[in-house]
């Protein structure tokens, strides 16, 4: 997903009205980053932003923040936002491991993790966005009734996540091993860029929803 050597990416991200460059300054007052004070949902590892743009357009009753670590990837989302601006969607270029420096307790209503990097080596397990270390971070920023939604085509990462989440003290509210053939869980599903790519190859898509 990382697109290398896009020299204008950093500068474009820094100067874009759709990006928040000093996210730590908004800790505890994220409502001020948007025209309307609405519940806040966050996608971590948003890539080129297709999922979040569609979601934000469909749900003007929420505010959305997309987090992406690489400016070269985020650039694609900014280009789309210039064509179809949405007042309830902003982006942050940061590593999600700093999540608790950016969001206060109870500040986030929902977290989306879509096709997160698998980090297959055991010694890198704590970098997986569904590791217990990341769920500890989610615990510190999510509202009491907040949920984490996770989709992937990576079976090993999904099986790891389904085991890891209860270890982190969370419960699985819903789980499917074939989202696109699960009538209930697929209702209103918005495809991400990766989801379209992998499901068109015939890969099943796995999804779970977790809460405390």
Is 153 one of the annotated active-site residues of the chain? no
Identify which of residues 45 and 146 has a Cβ nearer to ligand SAM in the complex: 45
Q: How many CA atoms lie within 13 A of 141 on its CB side?
A: 26
Q: Which are the contacts of 161, defined by CB distance < 8 A and separation ≥ 6? A: 128, 130, 150, 152, 208
DSSP string, 182-207: -HHHHTT----HHHHHHHHTT---EE
User: From CA 62, how far away is CA 49, in angstroms rounded?
Assistant: 16
Contact letters for ligand SAM, residues 25-54 (x by CB under 6 A) = -------------------xxxx-------
98 is a site residue for ligand SAM (CB under 6 A)? no
99 is a site residue for ligand SAM (CB under 6 A)? no
Q: How many other β-carbons are positioned within 10 Å of the β-carbon of residue 139?
A: 17
Identify which of residues 171 and 209 has a Cβ nearer to ligand SAM in the complex: 209
Phi then psi for residue 21, to 5 deg, are -85, -20
Q: Which of 66, 69, 137, 206 binds ligand SAM (CB under 6 A)?
A: 69
User: From CA 12, how far away is CA 26, in angstroms rounded?
Assistant: 21
The span of 4-12, 24-32, 62-70, 201-209 binding ligand SAM (CB under 6 A) equals: 62-70
* Catalytic pick among 95, 98, 104, 117: 117
Instruction: Work out how close the CB of 21 gets to ligand SAM at its nearest, in angstroms, rounded to a whole number.
Output: 16
192 is a site residue for ligand SAM (CB under 6 A)? yes
The residues carrying an active-site annotation are 117
Residue ranges in contact with ligand SAM by CB under 6 A = 1, 44-47, 67-70, 73, 95-97, 114-117, 192-195
């Amino acid at each position: 997903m990382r697109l290398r050597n896009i020299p204008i990416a950093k500068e474009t991200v820094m100067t874009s009205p759709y990006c928040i460059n000093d996210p730590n300054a908004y800790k505890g007052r994220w409502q001020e980053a948007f025209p309307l004070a609405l519940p806040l949902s966050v996608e971590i590892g948003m890539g080129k932003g297709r999922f979040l743009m569609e979601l934000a357009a469909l749900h003007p009753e929420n505010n959305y923040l997309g987090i992406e670590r690489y400016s070269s990837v985020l650039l694609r989302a900014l280009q789309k936002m210039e064509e179809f601006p949405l007042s309830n969607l902003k982006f942050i270029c940061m590593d999600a491991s700093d999540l608790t420096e950016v969001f206060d307790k109870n500040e986030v209503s929902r977290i989306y993790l879509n096709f997160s990097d698998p980090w297959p080596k055991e010694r890198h397990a704590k970098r997986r966005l569904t590791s217990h270390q990341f769920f500890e971070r989610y615990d510190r920023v999510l509202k009491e009734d907040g949920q984490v939604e996770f989709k992937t085509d990576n079976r090993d990462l999904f099986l790891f996540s389904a085991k890891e989440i209860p270890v982190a003290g969370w419960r699985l509210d819903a789980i499917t091993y074939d989202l696109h053939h699960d009538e209930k869980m697929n209702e209103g599903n918005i495809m991400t860029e990766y989801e379209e790519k992998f499901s068109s190859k015939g890969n099943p898509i796995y999804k779970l929803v977790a809460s405390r």
